[in-house]
Amino acid sequence: MSRRVITGFSNPTVKFVRSLRDKKHRKREQRFLAEGLRLLTDARAGGRLPEILLMAQGREAHPLLAELEQAVSAVGGDVIELPVDILAKVTGKDNPQAVAGVFAEWDTGLDQIDRAAAPLWLVAQAMRDPGNLGTMLRTADAVGAGGLILLDDCVDPFSVEAVRASMGAIFTQGLAQARWDEFLPWLRRAEGQLVAASLRDAVPYRGAAYAAPCFVMVGNESRGLPEDYELACDLRVTMPMKGRADSLNAAVAGAVLAYEVLATLEG
Amino acid sequence: MSRRVITGFSNPTVKFVRSLRDKKHRKREQRFLAEGLRLLTDARAGGRLPEILLMAQGREAHPLLAELEQAVSAVGGDVIELPVDILAKVTGKDNPQAVAGVFAEWDTGLDQIDRAAAPLWLVAQAMRDPGNLGTMLRTADAVGAGGLILLDDCVDPFSVEAVRASMGAIFTQGLAQARWDEFLPWLRRAEGQLVAASLRDAVPYRGAAYAAPCFVMVGNESRGLPEDYELACDLRVTMPMKGRADSLNAAVAGAVLAYEVLATLEG
For residues B50 and B213, give the distance between their C-alpha atoms in angstroms, rounded to a whole number: 32
**Chain A residue at shortest CA distance from B43:** A244
For residues B186 and B43, give the distance between their C-alpha atoms in angstroms, rounded to a whole number: 28
Min Cα separation A188/chain B (Å): 27
**Chain A residue at shortest CA distance from B147:** A243
Q: What is the pLDDT of residue B78?
A: 96
Question: Looking at the complex, does the CB of residue B135 fall below 8 Å from at least one CB of chain A?
Answer: yes
State whether A241 and B142 contact (CB < 8 Å): yes
Whether residue B252 contacts residue A252, with contact meaning beta carbons closer than 8 Å, is answered with yes
Residue A27 identity: K
Determine the residue among B121, B216, B242 to mutate to test chain A binding: the one whose Cβ has the most chain A Cβ atoms within 10 Å. Answer: B242
Min Cα separation B260/chain A (Å): 9
Question: Looking at the complex, does the CB of residue B142 fall below 8 Å from at least one CB of chain A?
Answer: yes
Chain B positions touching A42 (Cβ under 8 A) are 244-245
Whether residue B135 contacts residue B229, with contact meaning beta carbons closer than 8 Å, is answered with no
Residue B262 is nearest to which of A143, A240, A247, comparing CB atoms?
A240
For chain A, list the domains and their CATH numbers.
4-104 (3.30.1330.30), 110-266 (3.40.1280.10)
Query: CB under 8 Å to A214, separation ≥6 — which residues?
Result: A119, A120, A121, A192, A193, A195, A261, A265
B138-175 pLDDT, tens digit per residue, is 999 999 999 999 999 999 999 989 999 999 999 999 99
Question: Looking at the complex, does the CB of residue A135 fall below 8 Å from at least one CB of chain B?
Answer: yes
For residues A56 and A59, give the distance between their C-alpha atoms in angstroms, rounded to a whole number: 6
Whether residue A154 contacts residue A178, with contact meaning beta carbons closer than 8 Å, is answered with no
Q: What are phi and psi of B170, to 5 degrees?
A: -55, -30
Nearest to A236, CA basis, from A218, A213, A250, A256: A218
Determine the residue among A40, A141, A244, A261 to mutate to test chain B binding: the one whose Cβ has the most chain B Cβ atoms within 10 Å. Answer: A244
State the complex-level ipTM.
0.92
Min Cα separation B228/chain A (Å): 25
Residue pLDDT tens, chain B, 267 long: 678 999 998 999 999 999 998 889 999 999 999 999 999 999 999 899 999 999 999 999 999 999 999 999 999 999 999 999 999 988 887 777 899 999 999 999 999 899 999 999 999 999 999 999 999 999 999 999 999 999 999 999 999 899 999 999 999 999 999 999 999 999 999 999 999 998 888 999 999 999 999 999 999 999 999 999 999 999 999 999 998 877 899 999 999 999 999 999 998
In order, the DSSP letters of chain A are: ---EE---TT-HHHHHHHHTTSHHHHHHHTEEEEESHHHHHHHHHTT---SEEEEETTPPP-HHHHHHHHHHHHTT-EEEEE-HHHHHHHHT-SS--SEEEEEE-----GGG--GGG-SEEEEEES---HHHHHHHHHHHHHTT--EEEEESSPPPTTSHHHHHHTTTHHHHSEEEEE-HHHHHHHHHTS--EEEEE-SSS-EESTT----SSEEEEE-BTTTBS-HHHHHT-SEEEE----SSS----HHHHHHHHHHHHHHHHH-
Reported as a pLDDT band with limits 50, 70 and 90, residue A245 is: confident
- Calculate mean pLDDT across residues A108-126: 96
Q: What is the pLDDT of residue B91?
A: 86
Question: Looking at the complex, does the CB of residue B164 fall below 8 Å from at least one CB of chain A?
Answer: no
State whether B142 and A248 contact (CB < 8 Å): yes
Query: CB under 8 Å to B63, separation ≥6 — which residues?
Result: none
B161-212 pLDDT, tens digit per residue, is 999 999 999 999 999 999 999 999 999 999 999 999 988 889 999 999 999 9
Chain B positions touching A255 (Cβ under 8 A) are 248-249, 252, 255-256
Output the average pLDDT for chain A: 94
Whether residue A140 contacts residue A162, with contact meaning beta carbons closer than 8 Å, is answered with no
Interfacial A residues in 168-227 facing B (CB < 8 Å) = 168-169, 172-173, 206
SS3 B102: strand
Question: Looking at the complex, does the CB of residue B39 fall below 8 Å from at least one CB of chain A?
Answer: no
Between the two ends of chain A, the Cα-to-Cα distance in Å is 51
Chain B positions touching A131 (Cβ under 8 A) are 131
